[in-house]
Chain A
Amino acid sequence: MNLHEYQSKRIFAKYGIPIPQGEVATTPAEARAIAERLGGSVVIKSQVLVGGRGKAGGIKVAKSTDDAAALASQILGMKIKGLTVKKVLIDEAATIAKEIYLGAVLDRAQRRVVLMASSEGGVEIEEVAKHTPEKIIKVAVHPFLGLRDYQAIELADGIGLPKEHLSAFVKIARALYQVYLESDATLAEINPLVITGDNRLIALDGKIVIDDSALFRHADLAELRDPDAEDASEREAREHDLNYINLDGEIGCMVNGAGLAMATMDIVKLYGGNPANFLDVGGGATAEKVAAALRVILHDTRVKAVLINIFGGITRCDEVARGILSAINSLDVKVPFVVRLVGTNEEEGRRILADANLLTATSLADAAQKAVAAAKGGNA
């Protein structure tokens, strides 16, 4: 789960990481009042969960309170990569002498939390990694020892940080590691961490991503979820415990198991179609789950055909087939269905579906080809 910049920075501040003074506004009038309190010269920053806000015109500097109100009214309501801006963060303007990067991330290969720093702040760290990887310094933290001061010093020296900032930097690095641990983050980054014109270190922008698997022990963080960041279908799916991701194709896919679901999307593409979604109904594929999954898929009006691919192991194919039938009967279905059931009792499962006039398939390739043809209006 991604946190907004203002949410991330508030968490940073709680741990003693210096951030600019600022407040969130939802109207131009609020923006004006905040700018007044901050002394006039401010930065108006759209709060939407996508990258590239600056390029899209979602971040503007205001010289006066009037300016702040005018710019806030421009930015509020604008669309950035499909998301409507509903909140802006009004931060005091800072003079920037130098921008650096500091982030904590889970390194899967080392099985450790890694702290990374770079002298190239203010750009995406992935870009730095691609073009000038030598400019990223990393230290891996042992989970039983935590971040040691010498490791933070290694980072500071590695990026050529002026010595006068060393102790402030070490404090910030330690605090960032604590933020990461105590929020169960998968990413916590300050980008940029700036040296200001008056020679202070402050976290100008920040981002925290929380491990979805750990939200059960962070009720306070779970509440920060921005409902606008996921579409209605994704929200409904989450409420039914379904793994669903909306894509932009025309073939709705319902599959049991994440790996098989990905493989099903891949084969649809291989045969010239485009998957409308990723959806894993889970191992059991019970009738209720199947019905909920079909509702979510059919919400998407771009869906021209639905491909159901279920492997019946312990849950038998005939049980799954009955579940699919009862789900289809409970819904107003207007698009063709291709169903592939494989595994235990597959013949019986196929017979039940054939009686109901659904297209069935045996191999995955056959199923994908039939779904692609059905979506194009043919009768494979």
Chain B
Amino acid sequence: MSILVDKNTLVVVQGITGRQGIFHTEQMLDYGTQVVAGVRPGKGGEWATRNVPIFDTVKDAVAATGANTTFIIVPESSAPDAIIEAADAGIDLIVCITENIPALDMVKVRAYLDGTHARLIGPNCPGLITPGETKVGIMAGHIHTPGHVGIVSRSGTLTYEVVYALTARGIGQSTAIGIGGDPIIGTTFVDVLQMFEDDPATEQVILIGEIGGTDEQKAAAFIADHMTKPVTAFIAGQTAPPGRRMGHAGAIISGGEGTAAEKMAMLKAAGAQVARHPDEIAEMVARNIRD
């Protein structure tokens, strides 16, 4: 059990012939992900790495293979098109890894997706993994282990760090999702918290946020009102100076809003355990299991 993806998920890779596309297609196949198709306009009818069939369009790929999920790893200038094409082709879950998509393009993409049934994860994210079943992402699969802790995060390596610490303690994960570091993203903390709350296999949740925006504050309100499962939270950027973009386009404190202190206080008030540094997260989760 898990959320959003499992061993039956059928994946199409948009950008399968690029260097990164080839590498991550192989990594996903090695993990056991069912990568059933690739898309590269002009190469339809050919075969990609490991004999994955290539199609010119997502629509063709869906018609021929029944793919229901897409993994997008195309350059930032073509990513908005790739997302919209996937939604139009009837894909249920769109996972967009691409970084540096202009914010105004994402405003349009989100507005368009609101009128479709597709769910977008990302952009600028590592994707998601249901350990032991499938990964639709660029994370190292082998550091994960199946279990009952759900993880939702705005950061890639920080999530790996936490997963690694959990696995080292023998604590497995139900699903780990990177929702992305951009200001405009497809799926928010609140969306994922709801799914984890509803998922019988998830017993507790880790939320890894950072400075900028108000998604963590909304998550705090949701935790207070709707979560019955324990939540352990961490917010990166307690020492970040205001007005500077800290790597992620979304990680910027503007007009005094979106500070780590404010987010940590709200999460604590909502009943979440708030870790001061990443090492504490796995400790807190382990304590929840013991108690």
Chain A: residues with CB nearer than 8 A to chain B? 106, 108-109, 111-113, 125-126, 129-130, 142-144, 181, 184, 186, 211-214, 216-217, 243, 245, 247, 255-263, 265-270, 275, 278, 280, 283, 311, 313-314, 342-344, 363-365, 368
Pairs A–B under 8 Å by Cβ, sample size 19: A126-B255, A181-B104, A184-B104, A213-B249, A216-B77, A245-B244, A257-B247, A258-B181, A259-B154, A259-B181, A262-B236, A263-B158, A263-B161, A278-B240, A283-B156, A283-B157, A313-B140, A314-B138, A364-B279
Q: Is the CB of A142 within 8 A of B111?
A: yes
Task: Please name the residue on chain B nearest to A263 by beta carbon.
Answer: B236
Q: B103 contacts which of A126, A211, A270, A364 (Cβ < 8 Å)?
A: A211
Q: A243 contacts which of B213, B237, B247, B279 (Cβ < 8 Å)?
A: B247
Q: Which residues of A contact B71 (CB under 8 A)?
A: none
Which 3 pairs show the lowest CB-CB distances between chains A and B? A259-B155, A258-B247, A257-B157
Q: Is the CB of B164 within 8 A of A343?
A: yes
Q: Is the CB of B104 within 8 A of A214?
A: yes
For window 240-259 of B, CB contacts with A under 8 Å fall at: 240-241, 244-251, 255-256
Q: Is the CB of A365 within 8 A of B279?
A: yes
Task: Please name the residue on chain A nearest to B241 by beta carbon.
Answer: A247
Distance of A253 Cα from B139 Cα, bound (Å): 23
Decide: A111 near B184, CB < 8 A? Known: A313-B139, A344-B143.
Answer: yes
Q: Is the CB of B183 within 8 A of A106?
A: yes
Q: A260 contacts which of B107, B158, B211, B240 (Cβ < 8 Å)?
A: B158
Q: Is the CB of A258 within 8 A of B155?
A: yes
Q: Is the CB of A217 within 8 A of B101?
A: no
Q: Does B287 belong to the interface (CB within 8 Å)?
A: no
Place the interface of chain B in its size category.
Answer: 35 or more
Q: Does B238 belong to the interface (CB within 8 Å)?
A: yes
For window 148-190 of B, CB contacts with A under 8 Å fall at: 153-161, 164, 181, 183-184
Q: Which residues of B contact A270 (CB under 8 A)?
A: 276-277
Q: B246 contacts which of A144, A258, A363 (Cβ < 8 Å)?
A: A258
- CB proximity of B245 to chain A, nearest CB, Å: 7
Task: Please name the residue on chain B nearest to A109 by beta carbon.
Answer: B214
Q: Is the CB of A343 within 8 A of B160?
A: yes
- CB proximity of B250 to chain A, nearest CB, Å: 7
Q: Is the CB of B102 within 8 A of A263?
A: no
Q: Does B271 belong to the interface (CB within 8 Å)?
A: no
Q: Does B142 belong to the interface (CB within 8 Å)?
A: yes
Decide: A262 near B251, CB < 8 A? Known: A106-B183, A186-B103.
Answer: yes
Q: Which residues of B contact A255 (CB under 8 A)?
A: 157
Q: Is the CB of A259 within 8 A of B208?
A: yes
Q: Is the CB of B238 within 8 A of A266?
A: yes
Number of A-B contacts defined by CB within 8 Å? 175
Q: Does B100 belong to the interface (CB within 8 Å)?
A: yes
Q: Does B197 belong to the interface (CB within 8 Å)?
A: no
Q: Is the CB of B107 within 8 A of A143?
A: yes
Decide: A143 near B276, CB < 8 A? Known: A129-B255, A342-B161.
Answer: no
Decide: A262 near B246, CB < 8 A? Known: A108-B183, A270-B276, A313-B139.
Answer: yes
Q: Does B51 belong to the interface (CB within 8 Å)?
A: no
Distance of A241 Cα from B282 Cα, bound (Å): 33
Q: Is the CB of A262 within 8 A of B183?
A: no
Q: Which residues of A contact B208 (CB under 8 A)?
A: 259
Decide: A259 near B153, CB < 8 A? Known: A108-B213, A343-B143, A364-B277.
Answer: yes
- CB proximity of A343 to chain B, nearest CB, Å: 6
Distance of A247 Cα from B277 Cα, bound (Å): 20
Question: A260, A267, A280: which has the most chain B beta carbons within 10 Å?
Answer: A260
Task: Please name the residue on chain B nearest to A142 by beta carbon.
Answer: B111
Task: Please name the residue on chain B nearest to A363 by beta carbon.
Answer: B279
Q: Which residues of B contact A263 (CB under 8 A)?
A: 158, 161, 234, 236, 277-278
Q: Which residues of B contact A363 (CB under 8 A)?
A: 279
Q: Which residues of B contact A113 (CB under 8 A)?
A: 104, 107
Decide: A266 near B107, CB < 8 A? Known: A212-B249, A343-B143.
Answer: no
Residue interface mask B81-113, A partner, CB < 8 A = 1? 000000000000000000011111101101100
Q: B140 contacts which of A129, A184, A212, A343 (Cβ < 8 Å)?
A: A343
Q: Does B210 belong to the interface (CB within 8 Å)?
A: yes
- CB proximity of A13 to chain B, nearest CB, Å: 22
Task: Please name the residue on chain B nearest to A258 by beta carbon.
Answer: B247
Q: Does B239 belong to the interface (CB within 8 Å)?
A: yes
Task: Please name the residue on chain A nearest to B139 by beta carbon.
Answer: A313
Q: Does B273 belong to the interface (CB within 8 Å)?
A: no
Q: Is the CB of A261 within 8 A of B247?
A: yes
- CB proximity of A284 to chain B, nearest CB, Å: 10
Known: A258-B210, A311-B161. 16 other contacts (CB 8 A): A106-B103, A106-B184, A108-B213, A112-B107, A113-B104, A184-B103, A184-B104, A211-B103, A255-B157, A258-B247, A259-B155, A260-B278, A262-B240, A275-B239, A364-B279, A365-B277
Q: Is the CB of B161 within 8 A of A217?
A: no
